[in-house]
Amino acid sequence: MVEINASTKISVKKTAPPPKVATGKPSAAVGGHRGSAPPLKPSALASPETVASLLSKSKEEQKSFVFDHFQKALGEESIVKNISTPHAASTTKDRAGAAADVAVAAKELGVAFVLKECQIIEKMQLALFPDGIDKLFVNHVSDPVEGGLRPSMSALSLASMETEATTAGSLGTDSKRGKSTPANAREGSLLVIRALCEIVGKLAEPFVVGAFLAASLDECGSASSSVRQAAEDATSAIISMAHPWAFPAVLCPLLLQSLKSTEWRVKTTALERLEQCAKVNASYQVYKLIPKLIPALTDQVFDTKPQVAKATKSTLLAVCNTNTNQDIKNAIPAIVNAICKPADTNKAVSELMGTTFVVPVDASTLALLCPVLARALKEKLAIHKRQACLVISNMSKLVISPESIAPFGSLLVPELKKVATNVQFEEIRDEALKALANLTKALGDSYALAAQTQTDGDRTVTTNTTTSTSDSAQQAELMESEQARVEAEQKRIEAERLEAQRKEEEQAKKEEEERKRFKEAMDAQRELDLIAAKEAAEKKKEEEIQREKQRLSTKSSSGTCQGCGLKKCKKTCMFYSGK
């Protein structure tokens, strides 16, 4: 029998979980944003017969039909008509079908009839901004909503809606955001706006584009998910329907105003709509407004919400891709990365270093390049500053007009002056001065006084197109003095270079003469050494000869015989010669 105690180990084989089966339901996209919403389908006017029946009714009956379905779109019909009997709560599907019915009625009966005579537009204004359009972005009351919009036409308050029992079935309100209208009513109004855009189309543009876009953007920050989804779909439908030339005057101011909201969802939606304009609806108009868009988008790059930062980078890339300058087309991704991540500034400048500027540089191109180049001039390494100076110098030569680069003069000129003054390497200082000279030349005419004379009867009216006369004169004088200072500095550097070159030539000539004299002295010394060596060899040879003679002689150096030691040898001496 097996014993089991505290030290017994039991191994259990783990089985892999079964694979998940697709349910067919669409999953949420990254960041919580859905894909494109399905089209709205009418419920009461879904067939040609029902439409023909509506057209055959009297005007009062048509008004009653539109009013009833609009109430149903707001989720109020069941409350008003069946307030004393049990009834089913209004759903988003019901409200969407009723909103589509209102749009179909507007298409068949006339947009002005449904929105104006049936007072649908006033009721939507009451639901979305009862206090007027200026109260939408309440966090920035000091900055009124731009875009040529006028306040809500209705001066009524929510008291006018109490007779319709709007508060009886409220699903909750965004009280913290100052929203007192029920969520169902706001969602229904947004669905009606979307239905008008999708079903009626361009005929509804004068009534929808503008104030209702601002209201839809504001509702993207709602606490109700259904209201947020309806608001996102409504903003997308409005942007898709709007004429491209509505972007500069209406859409762009509203989208930029939305970026000042403290609700991150409002910012994200505004960025997505701006990206939609850049990619689909108004690429040319976005391209022309790049100088205005880049600073506003750059402020959102470092938002604390990662969703906003990610949407900003995507929008920046879409906006920058609308630029038509082929010289910098390949460098746009690097430029956007440098804007979003300052550590990549040098990579962007390196990309621009390989660019040959051939196409004239306009304000939109300058709006992309100048912030990155100004940041590159602040880098620690001098080689990076040199690269920025070269790009600025080449870019400034092809600027279309002084007015296009004037807004960026204050951004680049001070940094170029610092490089020309503080960098220790003369070559980099020279490049900075060249860039400053080209930039000053490009900026020169932007501060000149441009006056136009207009004759009105017997008097002449002079209008200044840039700024006042005194300011323009001071700015022109300042630029002339700056140009003169740059030229004087260049002349001084050139004179110093010539003087240094002259000294170098004199030093080289002196060194050459010294080398020549040294060579002559060395040659003479070698000749003397050869003569001395020859004399020493001859002397040594003579000494050897004398030593050999001395060795072979019987007499010593003193004259005595080397055998007997006498000057005259005896007969017994071995060297005796008999003399």
Mean pLDDT for 401-405 is: 86
CB 241 within 8 A of CB 277: no
Tell if the pTM clears 0.75, that is, is over it.
no
Report if residue 578 sits inside a domain. no
CB 191 within 8 A of CB 40: yes
Report if residue 15 sits inside a domain. no
Q: Tell me the C-alpha distance between 157 and 135, whole Å.
A: 13
**CA distances in angstroms from 320 to 138, 325, 364, listed in the order given:** 31, 10, 9
Is pLDDT above 50 for 100? yes
3-state secondary structure of 350: helix
Domain boundary (194, 210, 241) is at: 241
Report if residue 321 sits inside a domain. no
**What pLDDT, on a 0 to 100 scale, did the predictor assign at position 161?**
33
CB 286 within 8 A of CB 249: no
Q: What amino acid occupies position 314?
A: S
Report if residue 441 sits inside a domain. no
Domain boundary (482, 500, 526) is at: 526
- Dihedral over alpha carbons 28, 31, 32, 33 (to 10 degrees): -80
3-state secondary structure of 136: coil
Q: In which domain, by residue range, is 454 found?
A: 448-526
Give me the number of domains the chain comprises.
Answer: 2
DSSP notation for 510-575: HHHHHHHHHHHHHHHHHHHHHHHHHHHHHHHHHHHHHHHHHHH-SB-TTS-BTTT--SS--TTSTT
Q: C-alpha angle with apex 528: 526 to 532, nearest 5 degrees?
A: 115
In DSSP terms, 453 is beta-bridged to 462
Report if residue 132 sits inside a domain. yes
Report if residue 20 sits inside a domain. no
| Span 266-282, pLDDT tens digits | 999 999 999 999 988 88
Report if residue 329 sits inside a domain. no
Mean pLDDT for 477-491 is: 77
| Span 9-43, pLDDT tens digits | 666 666 666 655 444 443 343 334 556 678 888 88
CB 265 within 8 A of CB 221: yes
- Dihedral over alpha carbons 569, 570, 575, 578 (to 10 degrees): 90
Q: Tell me the C-alpha distance between 91 and 275, whole Å.
A: 32
- Greater confidence (3 vs 220) lies with 220
| Span 452-476, pLDDT tens digits | 333 334 343 333 434 445 666 676 6
User: How big is the chain, counted in residues?
Assistant: 579
| Span 424-448, pLDDT tens digits | 888 888 888 888 888 888 887 553 4
CB 188 within 8 A of CB 73: yes
Q: Tell me the C-alpha distance between 117 and 113, whole Å.
A: 5
| Span 231-256, pLDDT tens digits | 999 999 999 999 889 898 889 999 99
Report if residue 494 sits inside a domain. yes
Nearest alpha-carbon partner for 286 in 318, 327, 332, 240: 318
Domain boundary (208, 241, 274) is at: 241
Per-residue pLDDT band for 84 (boundaries 50, 70, 90) equals: low
